[in-house]
Structure 1
């Protein structure tokens, strides 16, 4: 079977770790991101040639870079870039159309890219493949608590593998969740197993407009599509849905409470590097900082270079409301970290004032920035590692470690790394306007405007 990875989510409930341009599936907390772990799992199931990733324009280079880190680059046809986010059903339709174009009788498993899933699930997914010929298969997880952050599925009539799915329920309140657990409902894992024949037959029946976009080879007309999830748009209507219980480690890691539950605890229930004195059941993430907690319990403490979150670990669902407040004020703290990833590498903001900004720019070997100019700022570059090739108004020169260059506003320029090691440059920007939209691109290797 093929594997489809959905990698376009934002994960606002894990702010400030998760940002719009660097969401939770790409955060490398233990050296590997959830996306990378999902990709490895998909490769075990389908081989690298059998993996399709659906993402969007702002995350496509994170996808490519993190796959390259694992030494398994994909063909262009294996990475589908949505013009705009339309929820899960249009994304799955596009990927399933890709599967059908290779083999009209093939099945595919759909993985969210931001979930924790034990490898024991793979054999159970394989065992359910025959069921996908006649059913849209979803996978449920036996609840360990009356969780209010998950959707629920009621299993019905027993099948050879799994059950008929009788009912889907959205995230309940705590009282309702307790009732669901008592009645034997399963958590909705967001993992699906779909055959092309059954999927498109049901799509034609219940979502004819979306089905019409599945015909042909062109990119679907996303602007005309309704934003709809596969649960709401298809599974809740179809009479051909089965649910298979997964007996494996699983969490959507959607909140810091979920992250806390998934990590190893010390004897007092604390998670994270800190000095704890009369402190219990706390979660601390503050890399590079010395943290001490005294006489406090049940706290979430998350510190990044530009933001600090402290909340009770029973109220982590409300982080989403905090992000909404920042977005109302157009605060970029929900969009970017101090370190921002680009297709050519990354930059980290070291200091930011009204009249100057200091960055550390890292360019991967062989990569180059776009040919560009700025109207409102000049830039001073100092090479601190590697060798830089600098193009100024059509003329090129090499800068080695310790050498520098000044670029006046209005000068057409480009930075390139011709070497075999990463290039690091300290960039000092000077001007009355220092935002990222003060850029005019003339040429770009990565198709950006």
Structure 2
């Protein structure tokens, strides 16, 4: 089988840990691994290779996490704009052989029962070889209103159900033949494409055009003007709810989509008082709390059933059971134009990362880490001057028509409008402090003249 990993998403339900440019699949919640990495490892044991469908902004973050695992045989397909799961799956299928069997999985799900997972995949693969489109139904253990449901009799699908209200979800749970729709699929490429062509011909034709015009390298790059023409529909609406070739494999694989802080709480280790805390945190007469803080010590007194999420630039406090309202917080923040919904103070780039240490009127201070052998784009800025101080390592610097080496405790000044580049020629990380001064200090004041990573 070939694993198609759907790696998009806006990452707002677990804000402020998850952000739009750092969604939950990349967050290392459990065992110092991200959900994306767990997906890669879990399916690498069962699939010969994978295709990761993600967007251009998240590509280098995904690539870094992939390289941490040293997993080979990976292809990236980059979408300039998301057009839902039907488009993503179709574009990946166009890159495969007609008789290939694919396993389609989201990148942000947690599956604990690997033995049962292997068994259901074998069952699904056998059905797929009989030209069936196979989905997986998760046996529900409570009445959930946030998932779609599948009504089934054995492997036969009787109906697909929209996200229900609590009364309907409770009825589904009592009946026993209703399953959560997992968003995972197994099928033969030719069967899926033929069913798509029959039931959603516009998606088929526009995706085919986008594929034919794409830059077919690794990563595989699609054009914005082609992607925007593809109708934005899920695979369920486009194919699964219309085809007569659908089968379902009911399963109990200890599955969670970690779609809320309450769900995260249930899947993390708790102390004797039911608190999820780190070793540095201190609680006094506090029970059943989820406390997530990377840097600061959090101390609590006489509190119960709270969610406390502390990051360098945002703090969330909520009663357990109400964290779904975080989407309302996101809406309010976005109306104010606050950037904390999009990115962390730490931002990953293909050459390394940077951390915003301080910013104010007409200035911004960053710590920049450049990986060994990596280089930033040859670039210029129209609105800011930059001061670089090397604090660790050796930098090769281009400013205008000059190239020179800058070492520890040495300093470079780049005037606005000057073409410049920073490179790490050594075998250890390069660390510099960058001070920006100017009337506009956002990332879109970068004019790339030459770029190793083919960014615009």
Q: Give the TM bin, normalised by the shorter chain.
A: over 0.9
Given that residues 133 and 186 in structure 2 are in contact (C-alpha distance below 8 angstroms), is that contact kept between their aligned partners in structure 1? yes
Counterpart among 158, 165, 178 of residue 173 in structure 1: 165
Given that residues 376 and 432 in structure 1 are in contact (C-alpha distance below 8 angstroms), is that contact kept between their aligned partners in structure 2? yes
Counterpart Cα distance in 1 of 2:161 and 2:328:
23
Counterpart Cα distance in 1 of 2:122 and 2:51:
18
Given that residues 104 and 185 in structure 2 are in contact (C-alpha distance below 8 angstroms), is that contact kept between their aligned partners in structure 1? yes
Given that residues 207 and 230 in structure 2 are in contact (C-alpha distance below 8 angstroms), is that contact kept between their aligned partners in structure 1? no
How many pairs were matched up? 437
Deviation at 1:303, TM superposition (A): 0.6
Counterpart Cα distance in 1 of 2:134 and 2:328:
33
- 73 and 431 in structure 1: CA distance in 2 versus 1, 3 angstrom threshold: farther
Q: Gaps (5+ residues) in structure 1?
A: none
Counterpart Cα distance in 1 of 2:7 and 2:421:
31
Query: Does residue 234 of structure 1 match 2:227?
Result: no
Query: Does residue 107 of structure 1 match 2:109?
Result: no
Deviation at 1:317, TM superposition (A): 1.5
Query: Does residue 384 of structure 1 match 2:391?
Result: yes
- Map residues 73-152 of structure 1 onto 2, 5 A cutoff: 73-74=72-73, 78-100=75-97, 104-118=98-112, 119-120=114-115, 121-132=117-128, 133-152=130-149
- 214 and 407 in structure 1: CA distance in 2 versus 1, 3 angstrom threshold: closer
Given that residues 340 and 347 in structure 1 are in contact (C-alpha distance below 8 angstroms), is that contact kept between their aligned partners in structure 2? yes
Query: Does residue 314 of structure 1 match 2:321?
Result: yes
Query: Does residue 344 of structure 1 match 2:351?
Result: yes
Deviates more, 1:427-436 or 1:364-373: 427-436
| SS of the residue 1:271 aligns to | coil
Aligned to 1:262: 267
Given that residues 257 and 316 in structure 1 are in contact (C-alpha distance below 8 angstroms), is that contact kept between their aligned partners in structure 2? yes
Q: TM-score, normalised by structure 1?
A: 0.94
Given that residues 106 and 183 in structure 2 are in contact (C-alpha distance below 8 angstroms), is that contact kept between their aligned partners in structure 1? yes
Deviation at 1:123, TM superposition (A): 2.8
Aligned to 1:72: 71
Counterpart Cα distance in 1 of 2:46 and 2:73:
16
Deviation at 1:197, TM superposition (A): 2.7
Counterpart Cα distance in 2 of 1:86 and 1:32:
28
Aligned to 1:194: 187
Deviation at 1:170, TM superposition (A): 2.3
Deviates more, 1:207-216 or 1:179-188: 207-216
Given that residues 381 and 404 in structure 1 are in contact (C-alpha distance below 8 angstroms), is that contact kept between their aligned partners in structure 2? yes
Deviation at 1:276, TM superposition (A): 2.0
Deviations 1:394-423 (A, max 9, x none): 211111122111112222111000010111
Counterpart among 373, 377, 381 of residue 374 in structure 1: 381
Deviates more, 1:380-389 or 1:124-133: 124-133
- Superposition RMSD in Å: 1.6
Counterpart among 211, 214, 221 of residue 204 in structure 2: 211
Aligned to 1:28: 28
Deviation at 1:128, TM superposition (A): 1.9
- 364 and 317 in structure 1: CA distance in 2 versus 1, 3 angstrom threshold: same
Counterpart Cα distance in 2 of 1:114 and 1:331:
26
Deviation at 1:323, TM superposition (A): 1.2
- Map residues 271-282 of structure 1 onto 2, 5 A cutoff: 271-273=276-278, 274-282=281-289
Deviation at 1:73, TM superposition (A): 4.8
Aligned to 1:37: 38
Counterpart Cα distance in 1 of 2:439 and 2:204:
51
Deviations 1:244-272 (A, max 9, x none): 12231210011111111111222222112
- 85 and 269 in structure 1: CA distance in 2 versus 1, 3 angstrom threshold: same
Aligned to 2:17: 17
Aligned to 1:59: 58
Counterpart Cα distance in 2 of 1:246 and 1:171:
19
Given that residues 11 and 22 in structure 2 are in contact (C-alpha distance below 8 angstroms), is that contact kept between their aligned partners in structure 1? no
Aligned to 1:446: 453
Counterpart Cα distance in 2 of 1:98 and 1:164:
30
Counterpart Cα distance in 2 of 1:177 and 1:44:
35
Deviation at 1:437, TM superposition (A): 1.7
Deviation at 1:214, TM superposition (A): 5.4
Aligned to 2:218: none
Counterpart Cα distance in 2 of 1:122 and 1:272:
33
Aligned to 1:417: 424
Counterpart Cα distance in 2 of 1:128 and 1:435:
49
Counterpart Cα distance in 2 of 1:68 and 1:123:
28
Deviates more, 1:337-346 or 1:407-416: 407-416
